[in-house]
Amino acid sequence: MNFWNDPLHFLAEQLTAMLSRWGLPTAWITFIEFFLGAMALIVFAMALDIGLVWVERKVVARFQDRLGPNRLGPFGLFQPVADIIKMVIKEDITPATADKFLYNLAPVLAAVAVIALWAILPLASTIYGADLNVGLLYVIAAGALGTLAVLIAGWASRNKFALLGAFRMVASLISYEIPMVIVLLVPTLLAGTMSLRGIAEAQRSIWFALLSPLACLIFLISAIAELGRAPFDLHEAESEIVAGYHIEYSGMKFGWFYAAELLHAFTFGGLLAILFFGGYTGFFGLEKLPAFIWLDNPFVQAAVFLAKAMVGYWVIMWVKYSLPRVRIDHLLAFNWKFLTPLALVVLVSTAILHRALMEAPRWQYGMALWLANLVIAWITIEILRVQARRQRRHQRAASQRQQTAQEQTV
């Protein structure tokens, strides 16, 4: 075993040998290794988060025809450091009527909820925190902690605008978790496991996004809604509720919310890459050739995963800075009347075809799933077209009745 083929186990063996020479008990050695591994993962996630601040500001500047950060360091790379210093030295204000324990707990819980997801993200075949056989259930449970943090922040602030933003977040969570959980069953069916590493390994020959593009699209929409990013950012709608649930937070307490949002968006980009784009794999069998065996190196795999996650993060930013905010009734109606039924149809069709074509050649299996998604998409578009035509007729009829009534009144 060497560092380049299995870095984590290599470092663990070296650390175990060193601590054993010191005479430490085995239980202590195991605890120290786990603790250092967790600290390394947290430091990596936080360092990545600092970089995401720069990336987000540069990307939104391009969308808005601006330069973005360009003063501190080359290309403004040191701007996140200045932002952190500003957050740290700003006055920390706590409302007099706030529930101080819960008020201070909320930003910590928001950050912990995101970092907890990184415990099971497989960066490479040998670089991951834990390989849970119920990884997808863990994702749903850990992701709900972030929403709990928003609700606690809104309630503990004792501010009506903060509470309204928190209630909106809960409504959005309850709604959009349904289609998300439904479509998460699609990669589970295709891979035969709920382990994120197992799902990534199952896509070495073909991505699940090619087998079920509708499930990938539904997951992306639900993820953006779960993040509370535009056009689903009703819990912090500045024009309606004065910044929403974190209106009473200042300094690093607000900074933790902001950092958690950025890292959460990148984490969902990583989940999108793992569930539908092969994660650290996805070379379509190319790594099996002798000339491309280097693609199975864990550092190359980690670079591939981070690149795919960054693409997913960029798509989330693209949506955020391109679409306007929707109304709360439209937000909920879109989920319950459209997204959830569509997710159920996709899941049922995938389950039926998966069971019927398990023994069929791989190309027939993949083609059948892809055509099923194409047919579902076509039927959905036709239904939407008919509904839009019917709604326009109703609007014209209502307009004509109103005009007739006005003429009779005159």
Cα 13 to its chain centre, rounded Å, is: 34
Identity of the residue numbered 111: A
User: Which range scores top for mean pLDDT: 82-86, 186-190, 240-244, 387-391?
Assistant: 186-190
Give the pLDDT score at 274: 95
CA 91 to CA 103: how far, in whole Å? 16
Q: Are 1 and 10 in contact (CB under 8 A)?
A: yes
Q: Encoding tokens for residue 51?
A: 């970089």
Give the pLDDT score at 376: 95
Residue spans per domain, the chain: 1-89, 90-333
pLDDT category, 1, cuts 50, 70, 90? low
Strand partners, 124: 127
Give CA angle at 45 (186, 258), nearest 5°.
Answer: 90
CA 44 to CA 328: how far, in whole Å? 36
Q: Could you read off the pLDDT of 244-259 as tens digits, one per residue?
A: 788 888 888 888 888 8
pLDDT at 216 over 90: yes
Which residues are CB-neighbours of 151 under 8 A, at least 6 positions away?
166, 169, 170, 245
Half-sphere exposure of residue 112: CA atoms within 13 angstroms, side-chain side: 10
Cα 2 to its chain centre, rounded Å, is: 34
pLDDT at 283 over 80: no
Q: Are 164 and 241 in contact (CB under 8 A)?
A: yes
What's the mean pLDDT when you consider all of the chain? 87
User: Which range scores top for mean pLDDT: 46-50, 91-95, 294-298?
Assistant: 46-50
Q: Which of 124, 183, 119 is nearest to 145 (CA)?
A: 119
pLDDT category, 358, cuts 50, 70, 90? confident
Which residues are CB-neighbours of 201 under 8 A, at least 6 positions away?
125, 191, 281
Higher pLDDT, 290 or 330: 330
Give the pLDDT score at 410: 62
- Mean pLDDT over residues 358-367, rounded? 87
Q: Could you read off the pLDDT of 10-58 as tens digits, one per residue?
A: 888 888 888 888 888 888 888 888 888 888 888 888 889 888 989 988 8
Q: Which of 106, 203, 219, 215 is nearest to 152 (CA)?
A: 106
Q: Are 278 and 99 in contact (CB under 8 A)?
A: no
Q: Are 277 and 219 in contact (CB under 8 A)?
A: no
Give the pLDDT score at 239: 67
Q: Exposed, middle or buried: residue 199 (CB in 10 Å: 0-12, 13-18, 19+)?
A: buried
Q: Could you read off the pLDDT of 315-329 as tens digits, one per residue?
A: 999 998 888 888 888
Helix (H, G, I), strand (E, B) or coil at 322: coil
Give the pLDDT score at 184: 94
CA 181 to CA 101: how far, in whole Å? 32
Rg for the chain, CA atoms, rounded: 24
Q: Encoding tokens for residue 67?
A: 């330069």
Per DSSP, 285 falls in state: T
Percent of the chain with pLDDT over 70: 98
Strand partners, 127: 124
Give the pLDDT score at 338: 92
Cα 156 to its chain centre, rounded Å, is: 26
Give the pLDDT score at 211: 92
Q: Could you read off the pLDDT of 112-160 as tens digits, one per residue?
A: 888 899 989 999 888 888 888 888 999 988 877 888 888 898 889 888 8
pLDDT category, 266, cuts 50, 70, 90? very high
pLDDT at 162 over 70: yes
The runs of H, that is alpha helices, within 124-159 are 135-156
The span from the first CA to the last CA of the chain, in angstroms, equals 92
Q: Are 205 and 361 in contact (CB under 8 A)?
A: no
CA 127 to CA 305: how far, in whole Å? 11
